[in-house]
A = this chain, B = another copy of it.
Amino acid sequence: MGVMRIGHINIRVLNMEEALRHYEYVVGMKVVHTDQQGNKYLKCWDEWDKYSVILTEAEEAGLVHVAYKVENDSDLDTLKKRIEDYGISTELLPSDSMPFVGRMLKFNLPSGHEMRLYAEKEQVGTDVGSLNPDPWPDDIRGAGAHWLDHCLLMCEMDPEKGVNKVEESTKFVMEVLEFKLAEQVMVGLEGNIQAATWLFRTTTPHDLAFVAGPRMGLHHFAFFLDGWHDILKAADVMGKTKTKIDVAPTRHGITRGETIYFFDPSGNRNETFAGLGYLAQPDRPLVTWTEENLWRGIFFHSGEESGSFTTAYT
């Protein structure tokens, strides 16, 4: 089967204490491990693997790497060959190069972002267990994020120079990692420049997305919530904790998701993304957004650029 879903994201934060307060009491995760370098590993209540976010203290915010989980260990060998055949070099990290994780296949996407694949991570179960489970645990905190849902990677695009890392990265993950394309934004005079893409391996609208920008960066990573009411609760939590909100509760036209964009104290953009939106399927017609409807696609209600979508990223 290959890639199943996003597995974890490793990000840089400027101040660990502030970052922890954010991911624990706003997002609602729990610290499950601290390594010798002081990196903190956190887990959402509805995830069964050991962790999904790793915080690394650094001088600058941003992405260290994003990792996707594959179904079988042998998928790593198959994909290693495919990726290298595609012309991208890889490195196979041994087991325990990261805590609680089996061997990892490391490489860079055409956009330059470091991606890793792995098949094994210690399973600790969700916080409600798997025997006669309650629908949610008693000790939910903050927004009560269910799981790490997806990330949006900012890719360099400069049509004049013929550079479009969105298109290149999209082509790569489709051909090699067998992601399917759910939606795309096409811009330019002839509408033939692929400026943003949303891709899936699960049957939710996106597990990975790419958007054009002036340089490689992390636009945001997102946590799943059940629905619109949980978005209100999450926004209330952000108001109560004076969390910096980028774009208040709204709906994406693209994916139909209900959303809040907000920042961690280091300036990494987070999202709470709610609802299934629709059932992503290989045979579902590809949805295309044109340049003049771009902002309607991104923020459906206002149809206008809001917050710092195109200007803030790490």
Q: Chain A residues in contact with chain B, CB under 8 A?
A: 1, 4-5, 46, 48-49, 69, 71, 123, 125-126, 130-136, 138, 146-147, 202-204, 224, 226-229, 232, 235-236, 238-240, 242, 245, 247-251, 253, 256, 258, 260, 275-276, 278-279, 281-290, 293, 296-297, 299-303, 306
Contacts and interface: CB of A to CB of B under 8 A. Distances in A.
29 contacts: A48-B284, A69-B283, A123-B285, A130-B287, A131-B290, A132-B253, A132-B290, A134-B236, A134-B253, A135-B253, A136-B236, A138-B240, A203-B203, A204-B276, A226-B275, A228-B229, A228-B232, A232-B251, A236-B300, A238-B301, A239-B251, A239-B302, A245-B301, A247-B248, A248-B249, A248-B302, A248-B306, A249-B249, A249-B301
A138 B123 CA distance: 31
Nearest to A230: B229
A253 B134 CA distance: 7
A117 B238 CA distance: 42
Contacts of A299: 248
Contacts of A306: 248
A51 to B, nearest CB: 15
A32 to B, nearest CB: 17
- The winner among A1, A125, A146, A250 for most chain B CB atoms within 10 A is A250
Which of A135, A239, A248 is packed against the most chain B CB atoms within 10 Å?
A: A135
Nearest to A136: B236
A275 B227 CA distance: 8
A288 B248 contact: no
Contacts of A275: 226-227, 276
A284 B22 CA distance: 27
Given A134-B239, A239-B301, A279 B147 contact: yes
A130 B288 contact: yes
Contact of A301 (B236, B282, B289, B301): B236
B278 A146 contact: yes
Contacts of A46: 278
A270 to B, nearest CB: 14
Which of A1, A147, A226 has the most chain B CB atoms closer than 10 A to its own CB?
A226
B253 A125 contact: no
B293 A132 contact: yes
A5 B227 contact: no
Contacts of A249: 248-250, 301
